Amino acid sequence: MSRNSQDSAPWPDGAVIYQIYPRSFRDCDGDGIGDLKGVAEKLDYVASLGVDGVWLSPFFTSPMRDFGYDVADYCDVDPVFGTLADFDALIDKAHGHGLKIIIDQVYSHTSNDHPWFQESRRDRTNAKADWYVWADPKPDGSPPNNWMSVFGGVSWEWDARRGQYYLHNFLASQPDLNVHNKDVQDALLDVTRFWLDRGVDGFRLDALNFAMHDPQLRDNPPAKRGKRKATRPFDFQEHRHNQSHADIPKFLERIRAVTDEYRNIFTVAEVVGPRPLEEMKAFTAGERHLTTAYNFDFLYADELTPEQIRTSLSGWPGGEDEALPAWAFSNHDAPRCVTRWAEGADRAQAAKLYLLLLMALRGHVFIYEGEELGLPQADVPFEALQDPEAIANWPETLGRDGARTPMPWETSAKNAGFSDGGPWLPMDKRHPALAVDAQEKDKTSVLHFAREAIALRRRSPALRAGAIRFLDAPQGVLAFTRQDEDESLLCVFNLGRSEQGWTPDKTPLSKLRLSAGPVSKKGGAYTLPVLSGFIAG
């Protein structure tokens, strides 16, 4: 389903972007792993959702120890996903549907299989000797400082060839690039140009605040005891020195200068850490940095409350030089939102509510594959786990594999139509019944509702880029208006587990545009069942 120019909303104002995790989307060659041909095959479906673009998780050459976030060649496709020709065909088909393509770029680290690292580790005098973060041991042979890895253990790995440690904020097989080095920046900018020349429309910059470290290698202080988590040593520190260096925005200015050579390029920063709002503002300020920053406020939240949403959105009031933020409720790194927030409730009803709320937020929004089907987090037994973080922290965390299981396309097909071979992660037994073909036949399904919600946002200037104003509401109810010069909308959501009544104060009541659940209105009052909501205007 293509969209003609008259139906095209301004890009990227308030864009709706669909995230595809290629390993799990559609497998065309029967090896049990999704591929680029599979993504291209299903672009008709993606376009039918009404989204503006697609974010593709990594498909680059990689040993896959962290499933593509350990890049061994930035400018080629890993054979498991296909070829550069497959990527070019995907770009052409996406653009034919009016879809933008955004790809991941991992500029903070590479795989230890990358030729850059292989040269850098050879000795201390080669041309790339300073392309990674190397440091001598302490006199007793221990690592240079106390920094801890996100995935467990210390952040330093000994390399006998250089007689030094190298830094890795993630796996030991993911050495950190020294992005302070201008030659490294130049090489990364060449990568940026390579993909822009192939027609991509933007980039998600992974783990961006890990891209630069404190050159003095000072120890991190301990975290305040009340904030400590028992799962990972990483959480026992305040990460003042291994990430979030003040020079990162200067590098982003160089990236922006390159993307400005092309037309309407969308860039989004991934920022996780102790000061995300401060960093996101710095990474997106004005016209010299990135388009937006990917917000994690909701991705790891165990519950969703009106207070939390008001607090998160109030950090982005729309001031001078302020970018539009970007929001997501689910992705490949976080347990699916219907499991985190609505366990024990009506899953389909909750999924519709969260989709409607996401479409009403001020900023850009990301939908993760299967979110439009209301998929719950998959159960993956320990023996089937693939994610190194999940294996290391089992059973204390849900891990990432449960959000990465195969997409169900056909209820009755082998592996629900994902692959003719054995899938790399098992299909959850609950997912085939929620497959695309089953939901296409059911006009009351989450899928049909998702299309309606996206279409409402797409044709509404107020939802895409208008101002937001929060209203007083009962406990558990979130209410706000979205408004631009020509349109005013009322958005109300009962996020709680009990029915609520609400009568707006000095807010004109209008016709319902779309409701999630059997919302009713009598006189000036609304009745909101559990996990229901509406947009009126």
Nearest to 147 by CA among 166, 174, 121, 132: 166
Q: Return the HEC string of 311-369.
A: HHHHCCCCCCCCCCCEEECCECCECCHHHHHHCCCCHHHHHHHHHHHHHHCCCEEEEEC
Instruction: Decide if pLDDT at 114 tops 70.
Output: yes
Domain shared by 377 and 492, yes or no: no
What's the pLDDT tens digit per position in 35-45? 999 999 999 99
Nearest to 356 by CA among 228, 463, 441: 463
Residue 63 is predicted with a pLDDT of 98
Q: Is 150 part of a structural domain of the chain?
A: no
Domain shared by 515 and 438, yes or no: no
Q: Which two tokens stand for residue 465?
A: 């880029």
Is 206 an annotated catalytic residue? yes
Instruction: Decide if pLDDT at 2 tops 50.
Output: no
Domain shared by 65 and 210, yes or no: yes
What's the pLDDT tens digit per position in 213-238? 999 999 999 998 765 555 789 989 99
When pLDDT is averaged across residues 282-304 and rounded to a whole number, the result is 94
Helices (H) and strands (E) in the chain, counts: 14, 21
Residue 1 is predicted with a pLDDT of 35
Boundary (domain end) residue, out of 433, 457, 481: 457
* Integer Cα distance of 96 and 264 in angstroms: 17
Instruction: Decide if pLDDT at 206 tops 80.
Output: yes
Among the options 44, 253, 260, 261, which is catalytic?
261
User: Higher confidence at residue 173 or residue 152?
Assistant: 173
Domain shared by 402 and 484, yes or no: no
Residue 502: beta bridge partners?
Answer: 526
Q: Is 102 part of a structural domain of the chain?
A: yes
* Integer Cα distance of 92 and 82 in angstroms: 16
Among the options 52, 70, 86, 206, which is catalytic?
206
Domain shared by 434 and 479, yes or no: no
Q: Is 419 part of a structural domain of the chain?
A: yes
Residue 292 is predicted with a pLDDT of 97
pLDDT confidence bin for 6, thresholds 50/70/90: very low
Q: Is 152 part of a structural domain of the chain?
A: no
Domain shared by 525 and 402, yes or no: no
When pLDDT is averaged across residues 421-430 and rounded to a whole number, the result is 97
User: Higher confidence at residue 392 or residue 182?
Assistant: 182
Is 484 an annotated catalytic residue? no
Separation in Å, CA 66 to CA 216, 388, 462 = 29, 7, 40
Instruction: Decide if pLDDT at 5 tops 80.
Output: no
Q: Which of 1-15, 63-77, 255-269 has the lowest mean pLDDT?
A: 1-15
Boundary (domain end) residue, out of 409, 429, 457: 457
Q: How many CB atoms lie within 10 A of CB 136?
A: 11
Q: Is 122 part of a structural domain of the chain?
A: no
Q: Which two tokens stand for residue 69?
A: 């976030």
* Integer Cα distance of 379 and 260 in angstroms: 44
Boundary (domain end) residue, out of 395, 430, 457: 457
Q: Is 136 part of a structural domain of the chain?
A: no
What's the pLDDT tens digit per position in 340-349? 999 999 999 9
Domain count, the chain: 2
Domain shared by 45 and 76, yes or no: yes
Domain shared by 388 and 514, yes or no: no
Start-to-end CA span in the chain (Å): 29
Nearest to 201 by CA among 81, 332, 56: 56
Residue-number span of the structural domain to which 503 is assigned: 467-536
